[in-house]
Amino acid sequence: MSDLLSPLKGHSDPRVVASQGDPGVVSMERRIVSLVQVTAWPDTLAQVEQAVATVTHCAMPERPSGSTARDATAIMAVGPGRYLIESDDPGLPTKLTTAIGADLGAVTDLSHARSAVRISGPKATWVLSKGLAIDLHPKAFPSLDVAQSAIHEVGVLARRLSEDSFDLYVFRGFALSFWEWLTEAAAETGYRIDPPGSA
């Protein structure tokens, strides 16, 4: 777990803000250990994908906007020949850099550049639809798909975990602004904030 001070410290502490009945949304700051972007050159995609799969022991996404997961590792397709890889292995950036030389592609450590928030619950999709400019219907945005968009003018990478559960990645410098939007948007449904890093 990174020892970098969270930009949400003091804001993402556990609490319940109820409206009527059970909270419709559960939010939690996730702790990022390793987050790495890998980009292949146009003629080295197959080699880079093989290297990523070998290092992470995780299958590569089969769809251009898909993702895969194994244990605590997730691989997200975020563009042509470009992947975002999250893992609880603090050595992942070094391992990928060693496996993928500059002749094959580029490896960028984003572990300290992003914050992650998980939002779930029966009203999670409804709350996100207030600001996320993509079609969140499960047929249009199915489980394990990823999409890049913006919420409240903050760039967001959204990964759908299930029908009512999402991981959202934002730039650290905008994490607090995003968090304030999220809690305000969820206020009318009621929300619960779980301890940071509890999932």
> At 75, which amino acid appears?
I
- Structural domain harbouring 155: 15-31+113-193
**Within a domain: 7:** no
Same domain, residue pair 101 and 43: yes
* Domain final residue, candidates 109, 129, 148: 109
Instruction: Please give the pLDDT value at position 128.
Output: 97
Does residue 192 have a pLDDT over 80?
A: yes
Q: Number of structural domains, the chain?
A: 2
Structure tokens at 95: 């391992």
Task: Kindly tell me if the per-residue pLDDT of 41 is higher than 90.
Answer: yes
Mean pLDDT score, 35-48? 97
Mean pLDDT for all residues in the chain? 94
Q: Is residue 1 part of a domain?
A: no
Against a cut of 0.75, is the pTM above it?
Answer: yes
Q: What is the pLDDT of residue 136?
A: 96
Spatial separation of the C-alpha atoms in residues 10 and 8, rounded to whole Å? 6
Question: Which helix (H) or strand (E) covers residue 92, if one does?
Answer: helix 92-99
Within-domain flag for 4? no
In the block, which residue shows the tokens 């563009």?
A: 79
Q: Are residues 183 and 125 in the same domain?
A: yes
Domain check: are 61 and 119 in the same one? no
Whether residue 50 lies inside any domain: the answer is yes
Determine if residue 190 is left, alpha or beta; phi over 0 gives left, psi from -120 to 50 gives alpha, anything else beta: left
- Are residues 143 and 74 part of one domain? no
Average pLDDT over residues 8-25: 89
Residues 147 and 120: their CA atoms lie apart, in Å, by 17
Q: What is the pLDDT of residues 167-186, one digit of tens each?
A: 999 999 999 999 999 999 99
75-104 mean pLDDT: 97
Same-domain check for residues 97 and 118: no
- Asked if residue 6 is part of any domain, the answer here is no
> Is the residue at 5 inside a domain?
no
Instruction: Return the CATH number at 172.
Output: 3.30.1360.120
Q: Does 3 map to a domain?
A: no
Half-sphere exposure (Cβ direction) of 77: Cα atoms closer than 13 Å: 17
End of a domain among 61, 81, 109?
109
